Amino acid sequence: MMETVTENSPAAESVVDNALESEMTLSMGPQHPSTHGVLRLDLRLDGELVLKAVPDIGYLHTGMEKLFEYKKYQQGIVITDRMDYLNPLGNNLAYVMAAEKLLDLEIPERAQVIRVLFCELQRIASHMVWLGTHGLDLGAMSPFFFCFRQREKILNLIEAASGGRMTPSYFRIGGLMMDLPAGFTERCKQFLDDFPEAMETFDTLLTGNTIWHSRTKGIGIISREDAISWGLTGPCLRGSGVDLDLRRDNPYTGYETYDFDVPVEHDCDVWARYMVRIRECYESAKIVRQALERLKPGPIKANAPKIVLPDRDDMRKHMDSLIHHFLIVAEGFNVPPGEVYHAIEASKGELGVYMKSNGGPKPERVHFRGPSFVNLSALPDMVKGEMVADVVAVIGSLDIVLGEIDR
């Protein structure tokens, strides 16, 4: 039998009170598709409103920083591929440049240009995955397919040069694994010619889309001061109006000689971060084109036979090359004692490597400062007071990769 509750009875009051004061805790993830991997969020909710969010990470922890200490310097490169698996060449670059700084190696011009070229291609590929999944999270299905088509073309280029698609390990300490294959420049130019048209598709599908505007504008706001205090870097920081790009401000591999703009937006919200990345894709394409023009024949490895593996041809003809090859593979090379922190502008922000050597063939300590790790730590501040559905939008706008966060 149902008990009738009149409006003014004490029972009605308690029912109403409970309804208003009922907070609930929701565990979001770790298998939720919009958490981009294995991120788990503990959300304290009041209805649809997020009162508090606590990220729980570590599901993908594989002890990489420990592993580096047990591997020779050149063996560590393949571990870095698996951290931010959407930007492996960026990880390679940060790692090898830290080691090169300790070794004081001079990298030939051609290798530098190829490094820049591939880092920018990889940045576009990374942004394509971000754009596709970010759209998918917010209900836009079709951009995903167009984005992955573009990314596929870039992965094919990377595969042509290195043999690997997701784990290229193309940059080596002292240079590159090998030179570009024949016909690479034409294939790359073909991609660059087709790319602006693809970007226009995304503009049609998302940038001018009213639904997209209402899902992104004014959501996940983080002020300029907070963004700096939280250590946000990359597009997340530039979306909050801070004009900072390590490629321009702490230049490496000759970025200072390239002509490109640093997009900055001042809205501090999901939309601003979206616009920064979209505009960055054009800038990266610009840099790739300049790098292609600069490609001149020349050596791709530093002149340091005790550190850089010799060419196969040399090994067949020269005994000392064979000896060096054997020694590098069997015993590694000693790195002078010292410590460096090298930071590059990866697709998601500042990727820093702290490397400490004690003089042996294996590093004493390698620490990676992953941009995703730091950017995610600001999430609780960004989603406070937003709706549950907007949490998904904010996570997407941070562009996190759990492989790098958990390491």
Partner 1 sequence: MADKLEFFVEELKKKNASWVQDVRVGHGETTVVVGRDDVLAVCVFLRDEHKFDMLADLCGGDLGPEEEPRFFVNYHLFSTTHHSRLRVKVLLSEDDPKVASVTPVWKTANWHERETYDFFGIIFDGHPDLRRILLPSDFDGFALRKDYPLRGYEPYSLN
Q: Which positions lie near partner 1, rule CB under 8 A?
A: 57-58, 61, 63, 65-67, 70, 101-102, 104, 226, 228-231, 242, 244, 249-250, 338-341, 343, 350, 352, 354, 356, 364-365, 367, 369, 373-374, 377-378, 381, 406-407
Packing angle of the helix pair 270-294, 388-398 (nearest 10 deg) = 20
Cβ closest to partner 1, residue 101 vs residue 165: 101
Cβ closest to partner 1, residue 78 vs residue 340: 340
- The sign of the dihedral angle between the CA atoms of 197, 203, 206, 209 is negative
Helix ranges, 244-342 (H): 246-249, 270-294, 312-317, 319-331
Among candidate residues 81, 130, 54, the one with its CA nearest the CA of residue 399: 130
Cβ closest to partner 1, residue 171 vs residue 373: 373
Q: Report d(CA 71, CA 353) in Å as an integer.
A: 16
> Collapsing DSSP states into helix, strand and coil, what is residue 85?
coil
* CB atoms inside a 10 Å sphere around CB 70: 10
Cβ closest to partner 1, residue 105 vs residue 117: 105
Cβ closest to partner 1, residue 39 vs residue 300: 39
Closest CB 130 distance from partner 1, rounded Å: 22
Closest CB 164 distance from partner 1, rounded Å: 26
Residues constituting the chain: 407
Closest CB 77 distance from partner 1, rounded Å: 19
Pairing label, strands 175-176, 40-46: unpaired
334, burial (CB in 10 Å: exposed 0-12, middle 13-18, buried 19+): middle
Cβ closest to partner 1, residue 109 vs residue 364: 364
φ, ψ (nearest 5 deg) of residue 51: -90, -35
Closest CB 313 distance from partner 1, rounded Å: 34
Closest CB 52 distance from partner 1, rounded Å: 12
* CB atoms inside a 10 Å sphere around CB 216: 26
Q: Report d(CA 377, CA 397) in Å as an integer.
A: 14
Cβ closest to partner 1, residue 103 vs residue 111: 103
Q: Which residue in the block uniquely carries the two structure tokens 């034409």?
A: 186
- Residue type for 273, please? R
Closest CB 136 distance from partner 1, rounded Å: 27
> Collapsing DSSP states into helix, strand and coil, what is residue 322?
helix
Cβ closest to partner 1, residue 64 vs residue 285: 64
Closest CB 224 distance from partner 1, rounded Å: 10
Cβ closest to partner 1, residue 289 vs residue 367: 367
Q: Report d(CA 55, CA 378) in Å as an integer.
A: 10
Q: In angstroms, what CA-CA distances link 340 with 90, 97, 180, 185, 343?
A: 18, 10, 30, 35, 10
Closest CB 186 distance from partner 1, rounded Å: 38
Q: Which H/E stretch holds residue 398?
A: helix 388-398
Closest CB 341 distance from partner 1, rounded Å: 5
